[in-house]
């Protein structure tokens, strides 16, 4: 398994829940939830040069079908702690979520808008419990150190974290955010992905936090 594959799909506890490795369809798409459609950012909401993709879920398949299995961890359950918190209270079916990716030279940002609120208290508790943990490919492999650090407060009903792992001695970070806007929730994750072929540049975590704020504002205006 390549280091890139590990960074994007396996190690980080919240990676699985946003399915940053899922299939995408470029351009516009028709979502079953008209309310979420109005509240979700579209290509027009991003600067020129950003690659915007709608991520298509496949009805009837289990959550995160096709994603890599969760890694082992010490303490146990930290590799998918936030995933489990969200899954425990998730609404499922048509119209329950809208998902998209915005890719810059420097970041791939995956956002999900939900028809239900997140349990922010449980998410914060999970992040605290897993502030420092190790992830393992299998029981015989060497542990990969991972830290979860809360970013400076962004406002009420918002949690944001930097999760950093030490892979072969080199640090690699992703950024996560969770927020409720009224009775709707949203969450996102940003991966550092340099791509000179994309004209729009990103700086993490600021570009990610800007997208989170813009998405929250659009929900507030339209729901």
**Taking all residues of the chain, what is their mean pLDDT, rounded to a whole number?**
83
> 137 or 100: whose pLDDT is higher?
100
Rounded mean pLDDT, 134-154:
88
Res. 174 pLDDT band, cuts 50 70 90: very high
pLDDT at 216: 97
C-alpha dist (Å) from residue 149 to 166, 173, 178: 14, 10, 14
> 157 or 48: whose pLDDT is higher?
48
pLDDT at 67: 52
Is there a contact between 79 and 73 (Cβ–Cβ < 8 Å)? yes
Q: Which of 169-173, 187-191, 198-202, 212-216 has the lowest mean pLDDT?
A: 169-173
Q: Which of 18-27, 137-146, 171-180, 183-192 has the lowest mean pLDDT?
A: 18-27
The pair of structure tokens assigned to 196 is 């000179």
d(CA 219, CA 40): 7
For 107-134, give the DSSP string: EEEEEEEESS---HHHHHHHHHHTSEEE
Predicted TM-score (pTM) of the model is 0.82
pLDDT at 138: 79
Is the pLDDT reported for residue 33 higher than 70?
Answer: no
Res. 140 pLDDT band, cuts 50 70 90: confident
Residue 96 buriedness (CB in 10 A; 0-12 / 13-18 / 19+): middle
CATH assignment of 3-222?
3.40.1000
Is the pLDDT reported for residue 68 higher than 80?
Answer: no
Q: Which of 41-50, 88-97, 182-191 has the lowest mean pLDDT?
A: 88-97
Rounded mean pLDDT, 160-173:
90
Is the pLDDT reported for residue 32 higher than 80?
Answer: no
Q: Which of 7-21, 56-70, 158-172, 207-221 has the lowest mean pLDDT?
A: 7-21
Is the pLDDT reported for residue 11 higher than 80?
Answer: no
Res. 12 pLDDT band, cuts 50 70 90: very low
pLDDT at 21: 39
């Amino acid at each position: 398994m390549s280091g890139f594959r590990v960074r994007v799909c396996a190690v980080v506890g919240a990676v699985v829940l946003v399915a940053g490795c899922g299939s995408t369809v470029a351009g516009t798409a028709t979502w079953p939830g008209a309310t979420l459609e109005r509240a979700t950012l579209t290509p027009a909401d991003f600067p020129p040069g950003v690659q915007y993709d709608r991520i298509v879920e496949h009805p009837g398949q289990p959550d995160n079908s096709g994603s890599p299995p969760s890694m082992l961890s010490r303490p146990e359950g930290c590799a998918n702690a936030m995933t489990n918190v969200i899954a425990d209270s998730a609404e499922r079916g048509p119209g329950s979520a809208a998902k998209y990716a915005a890719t810059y030279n420097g970041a791939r940002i995956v956002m999900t808008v939900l028809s239900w609120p997140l349990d922010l208290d449980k998410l914060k508790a999970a992040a605290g419990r897993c502030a420092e943990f190790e992830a393992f490919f299998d029981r015989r492999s060497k542990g990969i150190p991972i830290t979860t650090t809360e970013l400076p407060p962004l406002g009420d009903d918002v949690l944001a974290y930097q999760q950093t792992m030490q892979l072969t001695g080199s640090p690699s970070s992703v950024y996560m955010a969770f927020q409720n806007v009224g009775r709707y929730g949203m969450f996102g994750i940003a991966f550092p992905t340099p791509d000179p072929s994309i004209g729009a540049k990103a700086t993490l975590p600021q570009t990610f936090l800007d997208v989170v704020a813009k998405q929250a504002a659009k929900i507030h205006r339209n729901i």
